[in-house]
Amino acid sequence: MSQEHDFCAKGVQPTVTINRNGDVVEVYQSDENDDLYYRVGKIDILNKQIIWGTLKVFSQGVTPSVSTTIHGMTIVVFKSSSCNKLYYQVGQISDLEIKWGVCHKYQDGLNPKITLCKDRRVLLTHETTEQSGTCHLSGYLNEKNIILICTTDFDCESKPKLDLPSEDHNEICIYESYLQLVPNSTFSNFGNTVEQIM
């Protein structure tokens, strides 16, 4: 690979998403302040590399998470750097850039995670602030906002460490003490049923 495409940006808390069109969105926090950066890339299958666009600041916060659809609709969630307020920001990929909307506050919490399904269903997860546990939210995205439909809280002995959502409406949360699976039917019907795999 050439150095032009091998460039790694400097920062912390990196997160990345890819859609079936080969669009890649990388988001991370500056290691010097609370600026949040993003860049859009395109997978070059023939040369097995990513062609990156320009690195840009789009907001301020910490612990970001990002997801995008096949149509380029993109959402980033993150926590305020000064308190436990959680925010999201919606954007649309255009060439190798994203046209971002305004920030929206949605709940209090820590370490937010998101997946945006191809039919614009949104799955959100974050650690609770008042007790050891996690909160799952589901809803759908219109052009600018997330409309939340249901919220489910789970208490656990240890806080969640990793969230691995996917486009097929399954969400897997890995904890220090157990693995929890939210099945397809839960979010298809916006219900509250959850299957736990211990």
Domain-embedded: residue 178: no
Domain-embedded: residue 87: yes
Nearest C-alpha neighbor of 133 from the set 151, 159, 108: 159
The CATH number of the domain holding residue 79 is 2.120.10.10
Q: What is the pLDDT of residues 124-179, one digit of tens each?
A: 989 888 766 788 888 998 878 899 887 776 655 445 544 444 444 455 555 554 44
Q: What is the pLDDT of residues 48-81, one digit of tens each?
A: 999 999 999 999 999 999 999 999 999 999 999 9
Cα–Cα distance between 148 and 187 in angstroms, integer? 12
Domain-embedded: residue 151: yes
Whole-model pTM: value is: 0.77
Nearest C-alpha neighbor of 147 from the set 190, 95, 193, 191: 190
Number of domains in the chain: 1
Task: Note the pLDDT of residue 154.
Answer: 63
175: Cα separation from own chain's centroid: 18
Domain-embedded: residue 45: yes
Q: Tell me the CA distances in angstroms from 180 to 59, 122, 145, 165, 194, one per residue in order.
A: 32, 18, 28, 12, 8
Domain that holds residue 128: 3-159
Cα–Cα distance between 171 and 151 in angstroms, integer? 14
Domain-embedded: residue 179: no
